[in-house]
Structure 1
Amino acid sequence: MAVREILQYGDNRLNTICEPIKEFNEEVLDIIQDLKDTLYDGTGIGLAAPQIGILKRAILIDLRMGGEPIILINPEIVESSGSECDYEGCLSYVGYEGEVVRPTRVVVEGLNENGEGIRYSAKGLLARAFCHEIDHLDGILYMSKADSMYELVEEEEE
C-alpha cells in the first residue's frame, strides 16, 4: 500500500492505548501491508501500528535473519521469565539508545493476518522485540523503562 511516516517522540498518539482489532477485513490487510512497506523502507526490526498513526493492536517483527516476518494482531504476553539488561533503539526516537531490562523469555499469543490464533515462544532478541512492540500498543515508549539513555554520535573519520 504505502510507506508511512513514522511518528516521532513527542507525538501524543505514541502514548495512546490502542484498540483491539475485531474484524478481519481489507482494512486489516492494508494496515499489515503499510507496516511491511514502512519497516522495509528503513533499517528497524519491528514496527507497531501506532508508530505509523494507526491506533490499532497490530505489530510486525522481522529480525532480518532469513526467517519469515512475524505479524501479530492483538498480541499479549502470556508468560515471561528471566531478566536481562540490553540496549534498545526505536524508529520513533532516532539517534538514541537506552539500556532496558526485559524478560529473557516470553510466550506471546495473538492472531495472524487471517484471524487465526497463533502462539510464539521467544528468547533473546525476539523476546525483547515482542516486549518493545507490544509496549507501543499500550502507549509505552522504551525510554520510560530505560536505566540510562545515550545519544548515538557518528565517529569522524581521520
Structure 2
Amino acid sequence: MAIYEIVKFPNSVLTTPAKPVEKVTPNVLRVLNNMYETMKFANGIGLAAPQVNILKRIAVVDVEDGKGRLDLINPVILEGRDEEIGPDGCLSIPGLFGDTPRYRYIRVQMWNTAGEVIEFEETDFRARCIQHEIDHLDGILFTSRAVRLYREEAEPTPTGKRKKNGQ
C-alpha cells in the first residue's frame, strides 16, 4: 500500500470535474486501497480521487459506524430527501469547517468493485459524507455550499500549549 499526498486548496484539481472510470481494473482497485490507507492515515472519513491528484470518479468512505468501508466508483445521486444543515470539513482544507445543507436520505447508483452497476440507499451522517465525496468528483468544494464557515478552535491544555481535535 502507498500513502498519497493530499492536495490542498487552492489547487485547481480540486475544482476540476473527474472523468468516469471506463472499466474496473486491478489498477483502479489498487488506487482505491491506497486512497483508503491515505484517508485512515490522515484521520479522515472520506477521500475522493481528485484530492490525491487523480481525476477519476472514485472515492472511499468509512465513517466508522459499523457499516465499514464503501468504495464508490462512478457514483451518481438518483434521489435526495429531507435536507438539513450540518457540519462539513475536508482533508484538502485543513482547519476550516462549514455548516452545509445536505440530504438526510440519498439513493445512489454506482459500480461496485466487480464492475457491476448497483443502487443503494443511505441516511444521516454516512449520506452526508457520500454527498461530500461526490461533490469532490464534480469539482465542488463544501465551501461553496456552506451557509457559514468557521475555523477549528484550539483548546488550551494544562501546560498552556494548544491542542486540536481533542488530542
Shorter-chain TM range is over 0.9
Identity %: 37
Deviates more, 1:8-17 or 1:61-70: 61-70
Alignment of 1:117-128 (within 5 A): 117-128=117-128
Give the TM-score normalised by structure 2.
0.91
Measure how far apart 1:68 and its partner are.
2.2
Give 1:4's aligned residue.
Answer: 4
Structure 2 distance, partners of 1:116, 1:23, is 10
Rounded Cα–Cα distance in structure 2 between residues aligned with 1:116 and 1:9: 33
Give the aligned residue type for 1:101: P
Per mean C-alpha deviation after superposition, the further-off stretch among 29-38 and 53-62 is: 29-38
CA displacement 1:78-128 (0-9 Å, x = unmatched): 011111001111111111110001111100110011101222211110111
How far did residue 149 of structure 1 move?
A: 0.6
Distance 1:17 1:54 in 2: 11
Shift of 1:66: 2.9
Moved more, 23-32 or 51-60: 23-32
Query: How many residues end up aligned between the 2 structures?
Result: 158
- The Cα shift of 1:44 comes to 1.1
Runs of 4+ in 1 over 3 A off after TM superposition: none
Q: SS in structure 2 opposite 1:104?
A: strand
Larger Rg belongs to: 2
Matches within 5 A, 1:64-103: 64-103=64-103
Measured in 2, the distance between the counterparts of 1:83 and 1:65 equals: 21
Residues in 1 aligned to 2:53 and 2:47: alpha-carbon distance in whole angstroms: 11
Unpaired runs of at least 5, structure 1 = none
Partner letter of residue 58 of structure 2? A
User: SS in structure 1 opposite 2:155?
Assistant: coil
CA displacement at 1:25 relative to structure 2: 1.3
Gaps of 5+ in 2: 159-167
Aligned to 1:55: 55
CA distance in 2, matches of 1:133, 1:23: 20
1:104 corresponds in structure 2 to: 104
Q: Which AA in structure 1 matches 2:57? A: R
**Secondary structure in 1 aligned to 2:33?**
helix
How far did 1:20 drift? Answer: 0.2
Alpha-carbon shift at residue 76 of structure 1 (Å): 0.2
| Code of the aligned partner of 2:47 | L
